[in-house]
Structure 1
Amino acid sequence: MNVLSVRLKQATSTLALCGALMVPTPAFAQNAEEAEADRTEIVVTAQRREERVLDIPLAIAAVTAADFDKRGARRLQDLQFSIPGLNIVETSPGSERLQIRGISQQAGLPTVATYIDEMNMNPNAVTSGLDIRSVDLERVEVLKGPQPTLYGEGSMGGTIRYITANPDLDKIVGRGSAEFGAIEGGNTGYRGEAAVSVPLVPGKLAIRVAGAYEDTGGYVDTRFGKDQNATRYTTGRIKALFRPSDSFEVSALYMHHEWDQKDASYAFDDGTYIFPDSLPQPAKGQYDVANLVATADLGFADLVSSTGYLKSSGSLDVFFPFAFPVAPGVNIPLSFGSRTSAEFERWTQEFRLTSSGDGPFKWLLGATYTDDAIKNGNGQLPITTPIALTPGQTSKAWAVYGEGSYTFGAATLTLGGRYYSDKRSDNGRTQDNTFNTFNPRFNLSIKTGDSGLVYLNASKGFRSGGFNTPGLFAPGEETYGPESLWTYEGGFKQQLIGKTLTVEGAIYYHDYSDIQSVLLPITNAPSIGRTINSGVARGWGQELAIVARPDKTFTATFTVGHNDLTYRTASLAVLPGDPLDNVPEWTASAAIDYRKPVSDNVTIFASADVSHTSGFFSTLRLFQTLAIVQRTGEPFPLVVRALPRDIVNVRFGAEFGAITAYVFGRNLTNNFNAVYAGGVIQANQGARPRPRTFGAGLSFNF
């Protein structure tokens, strides 16, 4: 998690086109024959009931296990530009900045809600996300736009749900894979994964165990050696499913995940990060999550109880090189190094009642309670003794929500809302505040036959306020307030030409107010700033996706997304016309997939994909208040840009019954433009992506 990160994180025309989300391959639970029959019948539970993606009047992308395998992806970040509106910036492991449809900030709580099954994984801290790998997943659901009714606070830009694979109650099944890749200019990375499901009481009780280990390989050279930024990930998960009758079931999940990065991925264009006084910037962390879910069929409705526990911890080292000017052309080189450590703990309980049946009226009622606590500490490098953690902010939040829809003819009207109350305390100053809000949702959809629909949607998102850390700041800034977002959207989903062509699109408008932004210190200390509410942003966005499948052997996918959300007011942090941080104006992708049986037991396959992002900006206007410069003597920039990136990947292989062998090439153009352009900490370096990589893999299932 990134309650740890102390780095400050750092596009503009409107296009009137209809847009959309990716229509991916079928769910992992489907067998190959079903998948070949119809690739559009994927079923999701994004609206807390089972529905086809094409029947849901919202912009939803479903990325299945087959998608991850086909593209060789190990996390959602690897596929982000094939989902219009999604952008993920990672400065270090466990430091993901998730943003959907341009709702992205450098401060405050996350703007995207993240779930594993029924468990809310959002850290109650600085904008970030826990590192979640694609280990034995059934699918990932990406819901775009505010999701106030069903997912609540933090789901301003949208919600991402990781759905783990269930145990098989009837038979033993398993899968495994091994892969390695040689990095150009770096060393070799490798990964292994295995999962097995065993019925303990056939038809009633089964368990599924999955695990993975990955060494990404390094490619950044520092003064301590070559290829220093390799990261090791370890994941283990066990899931049990008990179904004593057709009307009742219980699932229990426990998962452990940890990461260990030797040094950060910041580098210059030549792949080096070398200063005479530079220090390593390791990142370590782990989390444990448990989720107990009970479902009972009451006849008129399904009752769901979800009890969850999350505990995460970690540490992050930061090295900040700068200089102090003492005369024209004369600068004294200086540096500041720090370590931040933190622990986060959450207990959560949710009850939900969802109506059954196929009648015209459907409804849903629910209530949640969450209890969060943070401990943190920091120290200046070098550190020879463990950092003592002290209690920090706490949150005790509850919510009640409900939603109802009525279908009349081809039209369906949906109304919903959530009342949310969050009592926050800062134990360091014995200060507390309560943030309350009501967030409604309105939706009208009209079916266009069995193969499509059009819809209008309006919804409000909310993000709590909080407390700033005491520091060198002006009085009256101890607390910052909440922010809110209204999003208005129109979209369509349509299948054409005998379901061989699927087109989906959406156009939306954001009205974003009381935005939380970083405020830097009023002194010249190279210290991390605090948060203020900096004004209003508005703008349009559009998305479009097209999937063509003329026959069972060939699939082509095209997506494009555009965002023009900019600030409309001036503040200490931003000016009118500034884009929001880390938001690309354009993203696009294209992919082809070819699969051809050549005998009863052999199928050959080939896939290729290209993704594009126009780059993005980070605004650091307040940095001009500090009388320090870069080591080169240049002033720190007020606006930092991440350059455009184009990434090309290919994969070839064959399936020999239950065994699959393949070779791959990733980032064939060897694009080394930064995925994050740096900021106060690294002003002219950036977090760099993995260079061109070639490798091979082997997988099996039974």
Structure 2
Amino acid sequence: MTTRMKYITVVAVVGATTSASTLAQELAVEEVIVTAQKREQRLVDVPVAIAAIGGEELEQKGLTNIQDIAFTVPGMALREDGPGSYQIFMRGLSNQYGADALVGVYLDEAPMTLSGADQLDVRPLDLERVEVLKGPQGTLYGQGSVAGAIRYITKSPDLSKLGGAIEAQESFISGGDSREVITGVLNAPIVTDKFGIRIAAQAQEGGGWQDQPQAGIKDGNNQDLRNVRLKALWKPTDALAVQGMVVVHRNESELGLGFENPDRTVTVAVDRSRRLVPKEFDYDLYNLDVKYDLGFGELLSSSTYIDHTHRYPFSYIAGPATNYGEGVPGAPLAVEGTDDRQQAIHQFSQELRLSSSGDGFFNYTFGGFYRSLGSHFTAVYDTIYDYIDPAIPTFNFGYFDYLEKEQNESFAVFGDVSFRVTDWFELGGGVRYFEDDQETFDGFSSEKDSFDSTDPRVYASFKLSDDINIYASAGSGFRSGGFNRGDLPNYQPETLWSYEVGSKGLLAGGVLAYEVAVFYSDYKDMLRRGLILNPDGTTIQNTTNIGKAEVKGAEIGLTWRPFDQLTLNATAAYMDSEIVEVKSADATNNAGDPIDYVPEFSYTLGANYEFDLSATLPAFFRVDYTYRDKVSYIDRSVFYDQFLPFYSDDISLLSARLGVTVGRANIELFGTNLTNQNQWIDPYHYWTNANRTRPRELGVKVGYSF
């Protein structure tokens, strides 16, 4: 495809050839079981590209949030607006606008995606694994999974034995504050083999490095985090399992913007010495799963209720490259502003499905899904306009309120079946019908609209052996339309068709695990935001369907155990994204533009070495390196064309961890961003709305298990 793709191919061939020489050592990469298709399967048997990260690997890599995971999974990126606020992008589908998300997030069976800009912050705490499903997952996971889905699989209560762990961590941020983290896990069978609970909790303080000198704020992005998860499992019979889960999440940060300058300071608009309201990101989650084994299949009912509140400041300053900034000929005005935004969301969802047991001749999943969401958003804006044209009156400070109330109700029915035509060939397909009813109120008037879609998927698997699978799939995705304010017309849904061919398997007796895929995505009616400037200097946001985009890409992953103590892994992704057709008169893009937030090339390299300091002191040493190409941003409604596109930096991050186990205790020394890179993650820095890489962090963690 390109020189880089030739390089990836050579790496794969060399890795496979080298690993063959180790066959005699009778080593094996650990086999991974996933539930991506809502039933248990070996990773090698699933006809979908998946990045599966086990719980132990998550801890050894020191992955603490979704941004860390994004750097670990090539081809994944996100837009971050401070702690707990993320928009996740994958496989070249990157779009900040729209009524729902492009990548769905799940905690076990509970959907954590509320809307396009509201996805709950999930911390990797006491997990079995994280599954990152790439490509459209609309058939089984709905409209919010157009580009993929992320599933956090938590550990369930063990009904047979008492156990747990407690860990304390102290770390130091280069140029910033120390960070203290306490983590505890308790597993308790109340009635042996019948009823038990599992509690996982984490408290974090400190860890900031951003300053606001004019306000006297030092390390203002410290986080006061409390995250508690309680799971209770009741198994009255072998066939019936009832599991409840409660999550309480509280996070507060004094600055909390997530945006910073290269000198690690924060600039607040209008009044540089102003102390903004602290950022608060809270939610309570209640989930009840009831599973019944019918013998021929498993029946599941999953009910989830979420109560989420979010208060956050948002500051913006028009730079000289914007058509709102001073210093550029023809610029009409300079704009600075700070918003106090508050959001309250309540969501109830219910899924009922029947899935086949095991992996036999005929496999199936049938189900239905219902969701009701209510949202109340308010904002108070204070904005300064400094008109260059003296004929227009100066409007210095304008305070006004913004209100948006939304009520969404949706339902879906879905099914997926596969037939094992022969021992080595399987053919499958699925479909989902979805309907979404929306209503919005802006304080003056209300609007209603409905959207629906039927999204099919077909796939085939060809087994060269029990451990080598070649597959092909084609699937569609859908994302609802939504509302523009005032008399502007509503925007219509986006649609996607994606085609993928791949292979995954185990070679040389299981010493080498590989996964490779190539894909093409046809992304139609892509949404983008435009800004309409009124004569009085105010603006109206207008979201429109601008046209069509195409994404071509390839991914590869390798895990190799050259000898018993050493495990090596490498992953890489290449993507070519382009907007190929523009049909909207007020479009912010031209044909030929790249899609925002899409790295062309990204890869990871890792090594884990296990050794013994003595006969009773097992130890490990792990080192990881991640690289991501710069990502771009284009918006011709806000920025002058001669400055576009804007870019982030290339991102290179190196981390390492050394651990030793002493009886039931463990001690770890770790470092992240060891070279202390200070780089733009986000390209949107010409409005001072971009974050940078976290500074170097060095620390120690001590734990005890029982």
TM-score, normalised relative to structure 2: 0.88
> Aligned with 1:299: secondary structure?
coil
Aligned: 1:403 with 2:413: no
User: CA 1:327/1:16 → structure 2, altered by over 3 Å: closer, same or farther?
Assistant: closer
Q: Which moves more between the two structures, 325-334 or 218-227?
A: 325-334
State the AA in 1 paired with 2:109.
E
Q: Is the 8 A contact 1:17 1:507 kept in 2?
A: no
For residues 48-74 of structure 1, what are the alpha-carbon distances to aligned partners after superposition, in whole Å with 9 as ceiling and x for unaligned? 111111121110121121011111221
Encode CA deviations 1:540-564: one digit per residue, 9 max, x unaligned.
1110111111222100111110111
**Shift of residue 360 of structure 1?**
0.9
Compute the displacement of 1:526 (Å).
Answer: 6.2
Change (3 A) 1:679 1:165: same
List runs of 5+ in structure 1 lacking aligned partners: 1-11, 23-35, 626-634
Alpha-carbon distance in 2 for matches of 1:18, 1:455: 20
Name the CA distance, whole Å, in 2 between partners of 1:648 and 1:425.
47
* Counterpart check, 1:144 vs 2:156: no
The reply to whether residue 269 of structure 1 matches residue 275 of structure 2 is no
Following superposition, the deviation at residue 690 of structure 1 comes to 1.4
SS in 2 for 1:394: strand
Alignment of 1:694 with 2:698, yes or no, is yes
2:533 and 2:539 in contact (8 A); partners too? no
Q: d(CA) in 2 for partners of 1:568 and 1:330? A: 30
CA offsets per residue over residues 91-112 of structure 1, 9 Å max, x none? 2112112111111101112100
Q: CA deviation at 1:16?
A: 7.2
Q: Distance in 2 between matches of 1:327 and 1:217?
A: 39
Distance 1:380 1:42 in 2: 50
1:613 paired residue among 628, 637, 643: 628
Match of 1:291 in 2: 287
Counterpart position of 1:163: 153
Query: Could you tell me which amino acid in structure 2 is paired with residue 300 of structure 1?
Result: F
Q: Tell me the secondary structure at the aligned position of residue 70 of structure 1.
A: helix
TM-score, normalised by the number of residues in structure 1: 0.89
Between the aligned partners of 2:659 and 2:149, the Cα distance in structure 1 is: 34
Q: Which residue of 2 aligns with 1:122?
A: 113
- What percentage of aligned pairs have identical amino acids? 32
Q: Are 2:566 and 1:554 equivalent residues in the alignment?
A: yes
Question: 2: distance between equivalents of 1:75 and 1:47?
Answer: 25
Partner Cα separation in structure 2 for residue 389 and residue 537 of structure 1: 33
- Give the secondary structure class of the aligned counterpart of 1:622: coil
Could you tell me which amino acid in structure 2 is paired with residue 437 of structure 1? Answer: S
Contact 1:17 / 1:542 at 8 angstroms: preserved in 2?
A: no
> Is residue 502 of structure 1 aligned with residue 508 of structure 2?
no
2:618 equivalent to 1:575: no
Q: 1:674 aligns with which of 666, 680, 685?
A: 680
Summarize deviations over 1:31-87 as a string: whole Å, max 9, x none: xxxxx9854322111111111111211101211210111112212421323323222
Partner of 1:416: 430
Name the SS of the counterpart of 2:93 in structure 1: coil
Correspondence for 1:660: 666
Map 1:38-57 → 2, pairs under 5 A: 38-57=28-47
Q: Which residue of 2 aligns with 1:213?
A: 203
Match of 1:466 among 459, 477, 482: 482
**TM alignment of 1:592-603, pairs within 5 A:** 592-603=607-618
For residue 477 of structure 2, give the secondary structure of its aligned residue in structure 1: strand
Deviations along 1:435-469, one digit per CA (max 9) or x if unpaired, are 11000000011112121100000000110111123
Q: 1:642 aligns with which of 623, 635, 648?
A: 648
Q: 1:321 to 1:169 in 2, by over 3 A?
A: same
Is 1:519–2:533 an aligned residue pair?
no
Name the CA distance, whole Å, in 2 between partners of 1:299 and 1:333: 68
CA contact (8 A) 1:82 1:590 kept: no
Question: Do the aligned partners of residues 334 and 536 (structure 1) sit closer, same or farther apart at CA in structure 2, a change above 3 Å counting?
Answer: closer
Matched, 1:456 2:472: yes
Q: Does 1:247 align with 2:262?
A: no
For 1:117, give the aligned amino acid.
Answer: D
Tell me the C-alpha RMSD between the 2 structures: 2.6
SS of aligned partner of 1:315:
strand
Q: Residues 256 and 486 (structure 1 numbering): CA distance in 2 closer, same or farther, change over 3 Å? A: same
| Counterpart in the other structure of 2:341 | 340
Pairing 1:238–2:268 present: no
Is the counterpart of residue 229 in structure 1 residue 221 in structure 2? yes
1:347-373 C-alpha deviation (Å, 9 max, x unpaired)? 111110112355311111101111111
Q: Which amino acid aligns with 2:312?
A: L
- The one-letter code matched in structure 2 to 1:423 is D
Q: 2:97, 2:254 → 1: CA distance?
A: 26
SS at match of 1:146: coil
Partners of 1:675 and 1:526 in 2: how far apart? 30
Q: Which moved more, 1:515-524 or 1:688-697?
A: 515-524
Which of 251, 255, 258 is matched with 1:259 structurally? 251
8 Å Cα contact 1:189-1:216 kept in structure 2: yes
Query: 2: distance between equivalents of 1:326 and 1:541?
Result: 40
Q: Secondary structure at the match of 1:550?
A: strand
The answer to whether the aligner puts 1:66 opposite 2:56 as a matched pair is: yes
> Where does 1:312-351 land on structure 2 (aligned, <5 Å)?
312-322=308-318, 325=326, 335-351=336-352
Question: Residues 170-224 of structure 1, C-alpha deviation per residue, up to 9 Å, x if partnerless?
Answer: 1111012111211111111121110101111111000111110112522122122
Matches within 5 A, 1:438-457: 438-457=454-473
SS at match of 2:592: coil
SS of equivalent residue, structure 1 residue 246: coil
Measured in 1, the distance between the counterparts of 2:332 and 2:211 equals 26
- Once the two structures are TM-superposed, the CA of residue 254 in structure 1 deviates from its matched residue by 0.5
Residues 1:202 and 1:151: Cα distance change in structure 2 (over 3 Å): same
Amino acid of the structure 2 residue aligned with 1:436: D
Q: For 2:401 and 2:191, locate their aligned partners in 1 and report how far apart those are by CA, in whole Å.
A: 48
> Structure 2 vs 1, CA of residues 658 and 330 (structure 1 numbering), >3 Å: closer, same or farther?
same
1:403-461 CA deviation, whole Å, 9 max, x = no partner? Answer: 11001220100110000011111133331111110000000111121211000000001
> Residues of 1 paired with 2:325 and 2:262: CA distance?
25
C-alpha deviation, 1:523, in angstroms: 2.7
Q: Matched residue of 2:637: which SS?
A: helix
Cα distance change of structure 1 residues 357 and 503 upon mapping to structure 2, 3 Å threshold = closer
**Larger RCO of the pair (alpha carbons < 8 Å, separation 6+):** 1
C-alpha deviation, 1:151, in angstroms: 0.4
Indicate the SS of the match to 1:61. strand
Measure how far apart 1:378 and its partner are: 0.9
Aligned length: 656
Please state if 1:101 is matched with 2:91: yes
Q: Following superposition of structure 1 onto structure 2, how do residues 359-438 of structure 1 map, counting pairs within 5 Å?
A: 359-381=360-382, 392-409=405-422, 410-428=424-442, 429-438=445-454
Deviations along 1:502-532, one digit per CA (max 9) or x if unpaired, are 1210000010000111111233746572311
The answer on whether the counterparts of 1:240 and 1:252 sit within 8 Å (CA) in structure 2 is: yes
Q: Is the 8 A contact 2:179 2:205 kept in 1?
A: yes
CA distance in 2 between counterparts of 1:588 and 1:493 reads 18
Relative distance call for 1:357 and 1:378 in structure 2 (3 A) is closer
Task: Give deviations 1:371-414, integer Å, cap 9, x for gaps.
Answer: 111111111259xxxx9996612111011101110012201001
Task: Give the drift of 1:268.
Answer: 2.1
| Residues 18, 506 of structure 1: 8 Å contact kept | no
Q: 1:464 to 1:150 in 2, by over 3 A?
A: same
Show the counterpart of 1:31.
none
Distance 1:521 1:69 in 2: 47
- Return the letter of the residue paired with 1:227: D
* Equivalent position of 1:3 in the other structure: none
Distance 1:112 1:508, change over 3 A: same
In 2, the alpha carbon distance for the partners of 1:533 and 1:280 equals: 39
